[in-house]
Amino acid sequence: MILEMNNVSCGYKGKIIVDGFSAAVSSGEIFCLLGPNGVGKTTLFKCILGLIPLMGGSISVDGRNTRELTASEYAKIIAYVPQAHTPPFSFSVLDVVVMGRTTNLGMFSQPGVKDYNEAASCLERLGISHLSERVYTEVSGGERQMVLIARALAQQSSFLIMDEPTSNLDFGNQARVLNTVCMLAEQGLGIIMTTHQPDQVFQCNADVSLIIKQSKYISGAANEVITEKNMREAYDIDVAVLDARYKEYELRLCRPIINSQE
């Protein structure tokens, strides 16, 4: 499947924030949105999810315009993984994951044995079956993020949209979540995620769109887009992009230059 954004414009209350954005994501690919705070990553994101109206252009899946789909049909194509959060009620982890089945249930039905099994297998796929009976609000931030990914998997959609999946996580959990993201892409899911860390784009070997300002985007493969010149233009800081070898790994790193004297 292919998700295409053509000349997308969106914003709030008549004020256009993102203008003329185009990109395409296929199944099995990871696509990152990178850019400074306030440049409209979240806005674009909500627009792709259909949470705010499209002001111009089109978003289509396999040539089919997404604006013609109902919330339920759309949920079968794209699942949303929000940042790890704390909901007001203390549902069990399995209950949270089974909520991903909503789109497959009738208006008046409740999830049954089949749905609970599906939810349990999503937990297993991510290696977090042991959390199943725990209370969602009481597990750690990293675990909650994984549970939310499991919930999105239970939705059985072709694409996942992830909002800064590693924000607020510790060093180890960041790596674990990123690993999971890469694994899911290898298994054939198309993934769109926002991030603040250019290194993650290299790590996932992803395509990326660097949003520099309202209508200026640089899109392409990680190596082409994340360059010293482009990063300086987007963030107005000096950046070093380095190549390194570690054992059998070829690494590419992106590092800002901190020089407090000047």
Residue 76 interacts with other proteins (CB under 8 A): yes or no: yes
Of residues 4, 24, 57, 116, which one binds other proteins by CB under 8 A? 116
CA distances from 128 to 111, 139, 148, 193 (A): 21, 11, 11, 22
Residue 13 interacts with other proteins (CB under 8 A): yes or no: yes
Least separation in angstroms between residue 154's CB and other proteins is 10
Least separation in angstroms between residue 111's CB and other proteins is 7
Of residues 15, 37, 63, 110, which one binds other proteins by CB under 8 A? 110
Residue 140 interacts with other proteins (CB under 8 A): yes or no: no
The window from 48-56, 176-184, 187-195, 235-243 that contacts other proteins (CB under 8 A) reads 48-56
Backbone phi and psi for residue 176, each to the nearest 5 degrees, phi listed first: -65, -45
Residue 54 interacts with other proteins (CB under 8 A): yes or no: no
**Measured distance CA(223)–CA(152) in Å, rounded:** 29
Residue 210 interacts with other proteins (CB under 8 A): yes or no: no
The window from 115-123, 177-185, 224-232, 248-256 that contacts other proteins (CB under 8 A) reads 115-123
Residue 91 interacts with other proteins (CB under 8 A): yes or no: yes
Residue 90 interacts with other proteins (CB under 8 A): yes or no: yes
**Measured distance CA(233)–CA(4) in Å, rounded:** 26
Between 85 and 229, name the residue whose CB sits nearer to other proteins: 85
CA distances from 109 to 66, 122, 154 (A): 26, 21, 17
Task: State the DSSP H helix or E strand holding residue 45, giving kind and residue range, or none if neither.
Answer: helix 41-48
**Measured distance CA(68)–CA(122) in Å, rounded:** 29
Residue 51 interacts with other proteins (CB under 8 A): yes or no: yes
For residues 97, 98, 102, 103, the Cα torsion angle rounded to the nearest 10 degrees is 70
Residue 223 interacts with other proteins (CB under 8 A): yes or no: no
Residue 252 interacts with other proteins (CB under 8 A): yes or no: no
Residue 133 interacts with other proteins (CB under 8 A): yes or no: yes
CB count in 10 Å sphere of residue 58: 13
Residue 139 interacts with other proteins (CB under 8 A): yes or no: no
Closest CA to 10 of 56, 49, 58: 56
Residue 15 interacts with other proteins (CB under 8 A): yes or no: no
What does the DSSP assignment read for 181-224?
HHHHHHTT-EEEEEES-HHHHHHHT-EEEEEEETTEEEEEEHHH
Q: Which residues bind other proteins (CB under 8 A)?
A: 12-13, 46, 49-53, 70-76, 78-80, 82, 86-92, 94-95, 99-100, 102-103, 105, 107-111, 113, 116-117, 119-121, 132-133, 137-138, 155, 161
